Structure 1
Amino acid sequence: MRAHLPILKAFVKLGSYLADFCENDNGSSASFEEALTKAEQQNGWFTRDNIIVALKQWSELLTEETLSQWLSKYELTVDNAPKTIGIVMAGNIPLVGFHDFLCVLLSGNKVLAKLSSNDKVLLPFLSDYLIKQEPLLTERIEFTEGKLENFDAVIATGSNNTGRYFEHYFGKRPNIIRKNRSSVAILTGNESQAELEALGEDIFRYYGLGCRNVAKLFVPKGYDFDTFYKAMFTFQEVIHHHKYANNYDYNKAVYLMSDFKILDNGFLVLKEDEGFSSPIAALFYSHYDSLEELREQLLGQEEQIQCVVSAESQSDDIPFGATQKPKLGDYADGVDTMEFLLQL
């Protein structure tokens, strides 16, 4: 590995800065506080609590040991001329595009980022901090409001609809195009209260807006949802967020008017549905006959699934409570972003 050490060290300093801010959480940085306030004002889903969770997650990943261990599997060089990589970022959860940003810069390339209108504050603020640590990054980070132009490759994240537009517009250049994916949980009925409460974090963190949020349960026939709902009670405060409450009221009303059979605890609607992508404040579920058949079914639908959460010891499964704590090598859609960049 021959990553550009000053850039690597700038990210390590950023990690320390984030850790200090999150641990103190006392307004120690007026400029950072202002950025958080602006981000929250711009996007009502970006509560301070959720932003801090995202920042803390990144503070734990941006250490010299963690970054070096991740990069050790790649043949990195700083000798090649940097290529310009366009990044079209989503805005569903705070700093959702930061991993792509990190990969591009540590691979020795230049970022040309088009930010989501829902997340336009946090990444520019952190970029300013990085540039102060390593002035070389002034030439390597650019944000654009208009169409992406003059780029060598592109990483674009969006919905299935925007994915078709991305394929048309970017298809002639090397690209990674990400579309809708959802995460699912497999329950057996043997889960402990603690495991189910941890699953609540996978469901409710960021109000369920992330592709790593669990949006669908697979349960055995005869499953007792009372046990599940008792564990979810820990997260009842979610209904006090007005945007979440509006979605809860709307989706519940639509289901009731359509005569769908639903389960409801006052802040989360459960609906039996074959789909994977449930709306905000709702959770789909399906019954299964055998775990072996379910595993085969999910294998055939893997392009729709981001994470599978369970208490089983399947190698690719994620433990309850860990979906929003991906490691640096946990690439979205299973596509190795760093390898893609190094092959350009």
Structure 2
Amino acid sequence: MTIDDHKSHLITLGKFLGQFQESGSNPEENLPGNDRFFNEFNNKIDSAIHHNGWFNRENIVFALQQWSKALTSENLKLWLDRYDLSGSENKTVGIVMAGNIPLVGFHDFLSVLVSGHKVLAKLSKSDRQLLPVIASYLMHLDSRYENRIQFTEEKLEDFDAVIATGSNNTARYFEYYFKGKPSIIRKNRNSVAIITGNETKEELEKLSEDVFRYYGLGCRNVSKLFVPEDYDFDEFFKSMYKWNPIINQDKYANNYDYNKAVYLMSEFKLLDNGFLMLKEDESFGSPIATLFYEKYEDENKLQAQLEENKDKIQCIVRENAGKDEVKFGYTQKPQLWDYADNIDTIEFLSKL
């Protein structure tokens, strides 16, 4: 299967995923496989919500729409034409996927396929409804995918390389179990936002997307703010307010209530607007419904601090984003070439 074959199939897949809306999804005429897969996938969205209390249709559809926008001819060309994949051998690559947000392991899945290798995927119990249907859709487009995609619920065996995503604790297990095999092993990372105090309400509203999308569960979600010494949080809280209905989600509300009780019993100083707490803390990973913040005086010292902790940080977010940074509102809209942990997955796969 050539790289052009893969591109053609992924463009069609992007159109397929783009059909699903938060309400009123309608199948496009003449799209391959719609008669067989549209209703099945729509039902699987409902099933995914049933199996994971953190999933809802809004967030699943948001993820599908982002993939639809990514899988275009122009984007695939920009992503893949920089690599020489002609020498890639047909290896089996195990993928251990997380399940914190919908289709979080999809980029690894696509990367293995377009690199000419076989996928052996172990899905998270929290997110195992959607990807098998997508795989079946690709097989419908081209039967050669049938020999290139396999799912397992058991431990991975008979693989040549592995990509595994988990917590810091599971990463230690992965490093031991997969030793001796080429691997990418991802650990906990969090994203931070830098606020100057000069942002407009509209700019801060864009930042709210980075904070609350997927309930803040993704490694690209902002979990910590760096703010000037004299920063007034009033405008920040006003700009977050459009997300206040999030407190009506039971799991989020339970976490908010629990964490607030812990903080109050520990007599921590908090800023609170009824659905989000701000706590001054040097850590990067904040609990659900909480944002940590840290004050800074000198931006050069802040940059040095971020560089020193780069292995803990997924995204650095600011409105006037520089090189290797993300603009407000775009953390959950990554491009195909925005690699997790800044590890070039295609480059890794091309050298197997």
What is the root-mean-square deviation in Å for CA atoms of aligned residues?
1.3
- In the alignment, which of 317, 330, 339 is matched to residue 322 of structure 1? 330
Aligned to 1:20: 19
> Aligned pair 1:298/2:306, yes or no?
yes
Contact map agreement 1:182 1:213 (CA 8 A) in 2: yes
Contact 1:184 1:217 in 2 (8 A): yes
Structure-2 separation of matches of 1:167 and 1:20: 40
Report 1:29-178 matches (<5 A). 29-77=38-86, 81-178=89-186
Corresponding residue SS for 1:204: helix
1:258 paired residue among 258, 266, 284 = 266
8 Å Cα contact 1:158-1:179 kept in structure 2: yes
Runs of 5+ unmatched residues, structure 2: 28-37
Q: Does the 8 Å contact 1:27/1:33 carry over to 2?
A: no
* 1:200 Cα deviation from its structure 2 partner: 0.3
- Partners of 2:351 and 2:21 lie apart in 1 by 36
Superposed CA deviations along residues 72-112 of structure 1, whole A, max 9, x for unmatched, are 100012x6541000000000000000000000000000000
Residues 223 and 61 of structure 1: CA distance in aligned 2, closer, same or farther (over 3 Å):
same
Shift of 1:55: 0.1
- Residues 258 and 240 (structure 1 numbering): CA distance in 2 closer, same or farther, change over 3 Å? same
Structure 1 partner of 2:254 = 246
Q: Give TM-score, length-normalised by structure 2.
A: 0.95
Alpha carbons 1:216, 1:278 under 8 Å: kept: yes
| TM-score scaled by length of structure 1 | 0.97
SS at match of 2:324: coil
2:2 aligned with 1:6: no
State the distance in 2 between where 1:20 and 1:93 align: 20
Task: Flag structure 1 segments of 5+ consecutive residues without an equivalent.
Answer: none
Once residues 3 and 208 of structure 1 are traced to their aligned partners in structure 2, the CA distance between those partners, rounded to angstroms, is 38
Q: What's the counterpart of residue 32 of structure 2? A: none
Tell me, in whole angstroms, the C-alpha distance in 1 between the residues paired with 2:340 and 2:321. 21
Once the two structures are aligned, what percentage of the paired residues are identical?
A: 58
Residue type matched to 1:7 in 2?
H
Residue 335 of structure 2 is aligned to residue 336 of structure 1: no
Instruction: Report how far residue 32 of structure 1 moved.
Output: 1.8
**Contact 1:50 1:94 (C-alpha < 8 Å) held by counterparts:** yes
Give the distance between the partners of 1:216 and 1:73, measured in 2 at CA: 34
Kept in 1, the 8 Å contact 2:22–2:61? The answer is no
Checking the alignment, whether the CA contact within 8 Å between 2:112 and 2:349 is kept in structure 1 is: yes
1:26 Cα shift? 2.6
Structure 1 39/271 Cα, relative in aligned 2: closer, same or farther at 3 Å? same
User: Does 1:204 pair with 2:212?
Assistant: yes
Which whole-Å CA distance do the structure 2 matches of 1:172 and 1:81 have between them?
19
* Secondary structure, counterpart of 2:155 in structure 1: coil
Does the CA-based 8 Å contact 1:110-1:141 persist in structure 2? yes
Aligned residues: 342
For 2:345, the aligned partner's letter is T
One-letter amino acid of the structure 2 residue matched with residue 72 of structure 1:
D
CA distance in 2, matches of 1:320, 1:293: 22
For the 8 Å contact 2:194–2:316, the answer to whether it is kept is: yes
Cα distance, 1:24 vs structure 2: 7.7
